[in-house]
Amino acid sequence: MKVLVPVKRVVDYNVKVRVKTDGTGVDIANVKMSMNPFDEIAVEEATRLKESGAVTEVVAVSAGVTQCQETLRTAMAIGADRGILVETDAELQPLAVAKLLKAIADKEQPQLIILGKQAIDDDCNQTGQMLAALLGWPQATFASKVVVADGKATVTREVDGGLETVALTLPAIVTTDLRLNEPRYVTLPNIMKAKKKQLDVVKPADLGVDVTSRVKTIKVAEPAKRSAGIKVADAAALVEKLKTEAKVIG
């Protein structure tokens, strides 16, 4: 059984993001980049499934600039068997990524695709759902537990009211939530082994996919700075300020 795990290269979660002075986007020059944390959880889960014997091969795939190879090497150091990079300098939006992943899935024929529920840079939370629609596969989003057996995936997912358990007939799509697992520490020997693992590079044109942007970013701006709070003498004064200044009550 083969599992496909898409991974995205994003600004590291410890970095304070800065907006470009011209407002065209986020400044990523000389900024530390790393694997999207939700995708790291997906790689860990796929690796655990392989270690349990439920899965035979884990294939990591990424789409983007040449430096995404570093992200794929990290995935292979965690436990992926090989990597595929769809190399492009174009700005990739969720639908384009989903189309690229569909083309890869058609070629690789995985029984399960596990990916992060969202990326921490754009927070779109769309790619997994779009991919499921394009492939016509069942999907389970926000997974906090995944069990694969007898041609089915049983997924416990986090919903507003608590937990929901769904059973999916494979092939299927699963998107990971934070509480699914805690990714392992990547050791130096595994990093060295990852350098020798197979990494294939293809172009969107090779897959017959048009990645032209369909949405245009008009402007990017930082949130307005919050003003300092004030103290009030009593509840009556608080209510008065909520009425007259904040205007949140009538």
Q: What is the pLDDT of residue 193?
A: 93
Q: What is the pLDDT of residue 174?
A: 96
Give the tens place of pLDDT for each residue, 198-224: 999 999 999 999 998 888 888 888 888
Give the tens place of pLDDT for each residue, 36-54: 999 999 999 999 999 999 9
Q: What are the start-end ranges of the E strands in 65-138?
A: 82-87, 112-116
Q: Supply the angle between the helices 127-135 and 94-108 in degrees, to the nearest 10.
A: 50
Residue 248: pLDDT band (50, 70, 90) is confident
Q: What is the pLDDT of residue 38?
A: 96
Contacts for 26 with CB less than 8 Å, ≥ 6 apart: 11, 17, 18, 19, 20, 121, 220
Residue 162: pLDDT over 80 = yes
SS3 (DSSP) at 202: strand
Choosing among 3.30.465.10, 3.40.109.10, 3.40.50.620, 3.40.50.261, the CATH entry for 2-225 is: 3.40.50.620
Residue 56: pLDDT band (50, 70, 90) is very high
The neighbouring-strand residues paired with 211 are none
| Helix boundaries (H) for the chain | 37-51, 68-78, 94-108, 127-135, 188-194, 235-244
Q: What is the pLDDT of residue 145?
A: 94
Average pLDDT, integer, range 136-151: 94
Q: What does the domain layout of the chain look like in residue ranges? A: 2-225
Q: What is the pTM of this model?
A: 0.85
The secondary structure of the chain in percent helix, strand, coil, rounded to multiples of 5, reads 30, 25, 45
Q: How far apart are the first and last CA of the chain?
A: 62
Percent of the chain with pLDDT over 90: 71
Q: What is the pLDDT of residue 246?
A: 76
Range picked from 15-19, 140-144, 219-223 for highest mean pLDDT: 140-144
Residue 140: pLDDT over 90 = yes
Q: What is the pLDDT of residue 224?
A: 82
As a residue count, the chain comes to 250
